[in-house]
Structure 1
Amino acid sequence: MMSASRQVSDALSSTRKFEGREALIPYRHEFAGSSFSTEGAGTSGLSLYALCTRKTEIEDVRRAISCWQENDALNFPYSEVVGYFQAVGRNQAAPPLISDLRRAADRYQKEFQRSEISASRELLLNWLPMTFDQVDGTYDSYIGASVAEFLISKSSAGNILTTIDAFTAALVADLAIIEAQALAALPGSGTQYARARAATRALARIHDFLPQAPADSTVISLAEAALRNRCSASDLAEKALKSAEVLLESSPYYSRRS
C-alpha cells in the first residue's frame, strides 16, 4: 500500500507545474518608480503583491506571536506571519522570528505529548515546521506534507482522495489569489499577466486533475471568463480573484485554514 507521504507528494506534484518556471528566472519589475529583482524568488515563497504593497515590520509580527503565546484565547497570527514571509521570502526570514516560531512549535509538541490538544492546535503543530526548515528541512517539510497527513488522519477511510483533492484545490486557489493580487499591483507586467493566466487556467481545469475538488460551476465559469478573449489585466485579476475565493469558501474548514 502506498504510504501517506507518497500519496501526498504525488497529489501535490500536480500543483507544482502551475507555480511557473518563470519563477526561477531572474527578471526586473518597475513599481512606484523603483526597480527591483525577483531572482530566485519562486523558490522562497516571495509574493510580488506583498513585496509591493505591504509594509512589513518584523517587530509587529513578533509582537503578535508574543501576545498569542501569552493569551491562549487568541488565534495564532497566521496572516501576520504569512504576510511577512511572502514579503521577504522564506529563505530571508529574520532569525529572531524563526526562533520564535521554533519555540512555539516546541511548546505545542510538549503539550501534545502530555495530553490531548484541539484539532486547530494540532493543525498549527503540523504547519509551523514549514516556517523554520530553512537549514534542516526536507522536501516533505518544504511542501507541507505533514499538514496534508494531518488532514488525511482526520478523514474517514473512504474519503482520503476527496481530502487530498480538497487540500490541493485550496493550494491552487491560494496560488491564484497571490498571482491575481500581484497582477493588480503590477498591471503593466507582461510576465505577471502570464503567471496570473496560468494560475487561472488551473482553476478553469481543476476537475481535470482534481476530480473530487469542491469546485462548483461558479468557480469554473469565472475562471473561463477571465481567460476569454485575453481580457485586460484588471479584469483578469478581478475574475480570477473571485473564482479562487469561491473555491476557498467551499473548501473544508481545515483545508482552507491550512
Structure 2
Amino acid sequence: AVRWAGASIVFQGAMHSLNAVHRVGDQIAEPILLHRKETAAGARRKTGELLEQVGLPAARAGAYPHELSGGQRQRVMIAMALACDPRLIVADEPTTALDVMVQAQILRLIQRLVSEQDLGLVMISHDLAVLADTCDRLAVMYAGRVVEEGPARQVYEDARHPYGRALSEAFPRIGDPASRFAPRGLPGDPPDPAAVPSGCAFHPRCPVALDVCATQDQVLREAGAGRRAACVHVPEGAASGGAAATEDEAEVRSGTA
C-alpha cells in the first residue's frame, strides 16, 4: 500500500487526528505492524526511536493524547508519518492552533527531518510566510485550480496573481506602522465549487478585474524565471515583469481598503 509506506500525511489538528482512547505509542506502531510486518517487540522499539527522533522521550509512548501538549501531539503525528520510512510527506496545516514559539519548533523539526532523510515534502497552508520559509516552491490555488506558482520566497514577496498578492498583504510588515492600521481584505466569499463563476473564478472578488476576466478563463503563463501565473495582467510569454503592477492596476490597488 502507498499510504504510510510510500507516502504519509501529517494531519491538521493533532488532537482531533489522534485516537483519544489509544496510547500514542500504539497508534505510531500500527502502520509498522501492518506494513512492515514487524513483531510487537520490534514495533515498540521502532516507536521509541521515532519519538526520540522528533524530540520526545520514548517513555511518552505510554501517554494518551490528552496528556500531551499541542506541540507534543504534533510531534507524535510527525513520528507516525515517519513510521514506515516514506519518500513523501504531505503536511496539512501542521502548525494550526500552535503558538508562535511552538510553531517555529515544529517547522524547524520538519525542515531537519526532510534534509536528513532526503524526503519529499508537500505542505498545505494559508500561511504564505510559513511556506516561504519552509518550501522551495509555492503554488497558490483558488477554487481548486493553481493560479500561480514559482520559487516560494519570490511568490511570497512579489506575487503576480491578485489572489496571491492579497494573501501576502494579509500579513503585517515589521517596521511598517501603516500595515497595522490599514489592513487589506477581499470582498465577497470563496466560490461554491458546484457553481464556479464563468471566466476567471477570482474575478468577482478581484480589485483589478477587467471585463474580459468575466468571460475568458486565464491559463498559467510565464511570469518570470521559473514562474507562472494565470492572470490577464501577466503578458503572454513574459520573461520578467510583474514586480510592479500596471498603471491601472496600481490605481485600483491604491484605493482598496
Instruction: Report the TM range for the smaller structure's normalisation.
Output: under 0.3
Larger radius of gyration between Structure 1 and Structure 2: 2
TM-score (norm: length of structure 2): 0.27
Name the structure with the higher helix share. 1
TM-score w.r.t. length of structure 1: 0.27
